[in-house]
Structure 1
């Protein structure tokens, strides 16, 4: 994708909008010019002083590509005999990529309207809340059910390095899907590479992004009523594990009650497959609720979620801390408080 014309236009327009800048000359660096690190050279006058900008234009604003471009851009500017302000231009720069630019002391501009530019006594900063559709689609793809199985395996122990084949086997997905997840994680610098394979080097950042983009698992949701409460409910639920059919897992507030209690709720939440849902209807004596429902069962379209469960007590199966955290965080203010409490108890890492 050649974004150079759009980048040139965006930079010229940005500078033209600033009254303090009196004269601007934006030129492309010719292909004959030893193809160092820059694509655009800008000569301008601001407050009566002349300045030069050196712009590198990259087709991807993913942090891994941004870091490499920043290193090259800094090296180019350092070797120039006269002062020059470096600026990086990309289609979109996330907050993480923008932070990288600030750390490298390099100005930036993206085609979504984010910009930061400083030279001499001049300073300009613009922030856009918009996120391009392609970026939103990429994040949704990374957190889809199959990809999520890979992420959950890695989040169990972020420092553990994985090669593609063992990770695919552990997550129950294809080699190709793991390769795609690997690329996405490395591009965002949420993962690193060692001699033993890929590991997570920013699990907190990954989980924060997942929380913001989270979509509950797809399935049919059913509301029921049971007269069982307290110990009677627990006894019926745990029952005879050998007689249990299908898959079931306590979810959301119900899972949190076993993992990291944070206040009680009058409703019990479950994920199940078709056979598991039938087991729950029988063992918990569930009846269809016209009102006053106190049991919510989601019959999942994709059973992959059941590959990542925990058993805090004999006969009690709960969604994993990561899945429980995500469900709680999407459950309103009270759920967010419970999610934060569970994260403190179970999901403590250092990026």
Structure 2
């Protein structure tokens, strides 16, 4: 922590000294018994001002909230009053919003900052994330974790016991517990007496959309002479043949056509495993197409996505609302429009 606090003091000093009207009289680490980690004494327009800083190694919203409460108490004994400042290696936008909510300034080592007092207003926002944090964020959306998230988002108001969530999602107890911890740390979920419940499903879905990577698959392009109702009927027949094992489903724009129509696309999309691919080949009379394809089948390497399908009409197996939304959100401008339409129609949750 001492090295971290020294780095925090250096970052704070560099920021303050870049403002010509601020004169830094003293800035350093406080004694071990102090309730704050760094104290800066400033001279601004002839007036003495203090910045009292708390330094933490983790900037997850849950940890930030607890630290902000302690920091607010710690600054009450200063005369003249001290401005509380929270410092961490990285503060997400959610953590920054918490600091603003508590009226606490903040600074991180990437350059995000907000410090205000008297007529001074310092605010800086950067878009980069630490590589390790970026990897950690993406890990919560990997296939096994995604199975847990899809189960939670299917009914955000439900409280889940870990064992029930494990059984429903088809994921081990240990992995569910890891996902649970990540969600709680980011304040996307809360633990109640009844179990784990999503507290901010929209924030979770936004973050998933922004970090989304399509499921690992082999993308195969085909051409069929079928179209319109004849193609829909043949596809439903193929899905019906294999639906007991969930081997093929409508995906992307094709799933959205059944869930929340937003214009018709000339290309039809499916997720399938090897058995589902064979069924689709036979039913739709598919022929390989190097160009001019009107059927795309993504043959999945991981079949967890089949744990969460919906049936908007008899024999119509589609990717879940969340999965369809995510796939559309990365499908270009038209896909983003269709994704937003689906979200407004079917993924609007009570605040």
TM-score (norm 2): 0.96
Could you tell which deviates more after superposition, 81-90 or 322-331?
81-90
Structure 1 residue runs without a partner (length 5+): none
Q: State the match for 1:60 in structure 2.
A: 58
Residues of 1 paired with 2:297 and 2:148: CA distance? 25
Q: State the match for 1:298 in structure 2.
A: 298
TM-score (norm 1): 0.96
Q: State the match for 1:211 in structure 2.
A: 209
The 3-state SS of whatever aligns with 1:30 is coil
Q: State the match for 2:69 in structure 1.
A: 71
User: How much has 1:239 moved relative to structure 2?
Assistant: 2.1
Q: Give the aligned CA root-mean-square deviation in angstroms.
A: 1.4
Residues of 2 paired with 1:82 and 1:6: CA distance? 26
Residues of 1 paired with 2:37 and 2:28: CA distance? 9
Residues of 1 paired with 2:339 and 2:38: CA distance? 47
Q: State the match for 2:94 in structure 1.
A: 96
CA contact (8 A) 1:204 1:350 kept: no
The 3-state SS of whatever aligns with 1:32 is coil
Q: State the match for 1:8 in structure 2.
A: 9
Could you tell which deviates more after superposition, 153-162 or 43-52?
43-52
Residues of 2 paired with 1:271 and 1:240: CA distance? 13
User: How much has 1:269 moved relative to structure 2?
Assistant: 0.2
Q: State the match for 2:85 in structure 1.
A: 87
CA contact (8 A) 2:239 2:317 kept: no
State yes or no: 1:334 paired with 2:351: no
Q: State the match for 2:145 in structure 1.
A: 147
User: How much has 1:290 moved relative to structure 2?
Assistant: 2.5
User: How much has 1:166 moved relative to structure 2?
Assistant: 1.1
Residues of 2 paired with 1:235 and 1:23: CA distance? 75
Could you tell which deviates more after superposition, 201-210 or 18-27?
18-27
List per-residue Cα deviations over 1:95-123 (Å, max 9, x = no partner): 11111111111110000100011112211
Query: How many residues align structurally?
Result: 348
Q: State the match for 1:32 in structure 2.
A: 33
State yes or no: 1:164 paired with 2:165: no
1:189 to 1:176, Cα distance in 2 relative to 1, 3 A: same
